[in-house]
Amino acid sequence: AYLRIRGDWGNTSVAWVTADDTDWEQDENDLLSFSSQVSLGQDFDLYQTGEYIISSDRKDEENTLSYYYLNAGYDFKDHFRISLTYDRYDRIPYIEEVPDDTQYGEYDTGEVQVFKGYGLSPRLDIQMSETWRGYVRYRYRKTDDYGSREWHQYHGGVSCSDLIGFGVNASVFLNRSDDRDYETGFLRISREVGQSLSLSLNLAADRFSYPETVAAAAHVEDTWRCGLSGFYRITGDVTALLEYERVFGDEEMDREHRILFNLQLKF
């Protein structure tokens, strides 16, 4: 069941969902899904969406706000924008323990756990000129999956739509936590060739303070990435993207070639 209301202020919607008679009993529940988008004047806007579990086969999940996302922003004289994002989740099931005599696929006798966490992120966007803009963002995350963790993430970047005929995007991302620290830097230089083709040169670097894998692969401390991409507008309804990336790790076995091709048709 679904209801949506629109007005000059924005829109809001609510939906009732019932899942019953499924293969896994833990997926059977009644939940309420909601979202709204509100604008006050030309400066303030707010968007939120969420999911509330009303009843469930697992009693400990009843009356639980299983997912929520909120983003609110305010514009100052077209040059500055301050926004705040909050998100939380409390229901992504996984199997922690299954008895040895359980056959593959019969997981209902295992102990089912959930991922839990939330994040809070303020962000500042700056329009420095007609072609230059920048942003800085901080995000605090706390998660409860496989043990409690706290994350501090810092993200910043600048972009220029026309630098002597080229488009430029650059950003830096830093992640800090008890057991996983890493940094990533990214630079993209792009140029339009005619009205149908866009070419880009992409460069990136990564540094890891802890192993990114628990498998037998070697501990990768840093990588370099470089790539080329082309976006071609074949017609108004058909576009194609081709991207190639070369990864250079600090170990010979960690060097990779990556190719992406995407074709889009609009009907």
pLDDT bracket for residue 55 (50, 70, 90):
confident
Mean pLDDT of the chain: 84
Q: What is the pLDDT of residues 79-104, one digit of tens each?
A: 899 999 999 988 655 554 555 554 54
Retrieve residue 124's tokens: 């500042």
Retrieve residue 64's tokens: 């639980």
Q: What is the pLDDT of residues 239-254, one digit of tens each?
A: 999 999 998 877 666 6
Task: Please tell me the predicted confidence (pLDDT) of residue 109.
Answer: 46
Higher pLDDT, 255 or 210: 255
DSSP character at residue 21: S
Secondary structure (DSSP) of 221-263: -EEEEEEEEEEEE-SSSEEEEEEEEEEEESSGGG-EEEEEEEE
Among the ranges given (21-30, 126-135, 164-173), the one the predictor scored with the smallest mean pLDDT: 21-30
Task: Please tell me the predicted confidence (pLDDT) of residue 26.
Answer: 60
Among the ranges given (64-73, 124-133, 176-185, 205-214), the one the predictor scored with the smallest mean pLDDT: 205-214
Among the ranges given (69-83, 105-119, 131-145), the one the predictor scored with the smallest mean pLDDT: 105-119
Average pLDDT for residues 176-202, to the nearest whole number? 90
Residue 52 burial (10 A CB sphere; 0-12, 13-18, 19+): middle
Higher pLDDT, 41 or 46: 46
- Spacing of C-alpha 53 from chain mean position: 23
Decide: 183 and 206 in contact? Cβ < 8 Å: yes
Task: Please tell me the predicted confidence (pLDDT) of residue 19.
Answer: 83
**Model confidence, pTM:** 0.75
Average pLDDT for residues 192-202, to the nearest whole number? 93
Decide: 108 and 95 in contact? Cβ < 8 Å: no
pLDDT bracket for residue 66 (50, 70, 90):
confident
